[in-house]
């Protein structure tokens, strides 16, 4: 079973992978990194004019990182707008994804936070720099293999 956006992408021979639907019935798609900038523009033209949220997470220690985009079609007279979730997976050794700042301006701080916490670089982002951690911070705190610098666990404390 596919959703509206997936059907449209298949019809126009655009590569993607359907990941099914979440508990609210929102379609989830996986897009290749190299196709993301094109599909982002196509999604906007198709009517997904609102980036509800962007986030990122570490799938598994030593595994891929994921950048997740929740898109919504906002139109007048619609009580329940159509939504879609798009996931882009990248290897942790070179996590680079095209920025969608130029499509949805609301991606600005959200992509910066994903960069700051997980080290995903968003190509062509105008101000990609740390937003939560100091510039001198080493590493990416939300990666599952991150080791906190100068952290000593207290053993056998009474």
Range 76-85 average pLDDT: 88
**The pLDDT value given to residue 152:** 59
Residue 157 banded pLDDT, cuts 50, 70, 90: low
Q: Where are the domains of the chain?
A: 2-140
Number of residues written out for the chain? 158
C-alpha pair distances (Å), 46 with each of 14, 40, 51, 80: 14, 10, 13, 17
Mapping DSSP to helix (H, G, I), strand (E, B) and coil, where does residue 8 land? helix
Q: Which of 11-15, 67-71, 73-77 has the lowest mean pLDDT?
A: 11-15
Domain 2-140 coded CATH 3.10.28.10:
no
């Amino acid at each position: 079973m596919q959703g509206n956006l997936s059907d449209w992408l298949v019809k126009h021979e655009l590569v993607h992978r359907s990941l099914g639907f979440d508990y609210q019935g929102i379609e989830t798609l996986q897009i290749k990194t190299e196709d993301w900038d094109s599909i982002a523009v196509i999604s906007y033209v198709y009517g997904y004019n609102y980036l509800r949220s962007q986030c990122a997470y570490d799938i598994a220690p030593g595994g891929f990182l994921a950048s997740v985009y929740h898109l919504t079609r906002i139109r007048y007279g619609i009580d329940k707008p159509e939504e879609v979730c798009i996931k882009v997976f990248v290897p942790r050794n070179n996590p680079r994804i095209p920025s969608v700042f130029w499509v949805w301006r609301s991606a600005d701080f959200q992509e910066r936070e994903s960069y700051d916490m997980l080290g995903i670089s968003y190509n062509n982002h105008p101000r990609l720099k740390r937003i939560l951690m100091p510039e001198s911070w080493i590493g990416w705190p939300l990666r599952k293999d991150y080791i906190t610098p100068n952290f000593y666990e207290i053993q056998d404390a009474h």
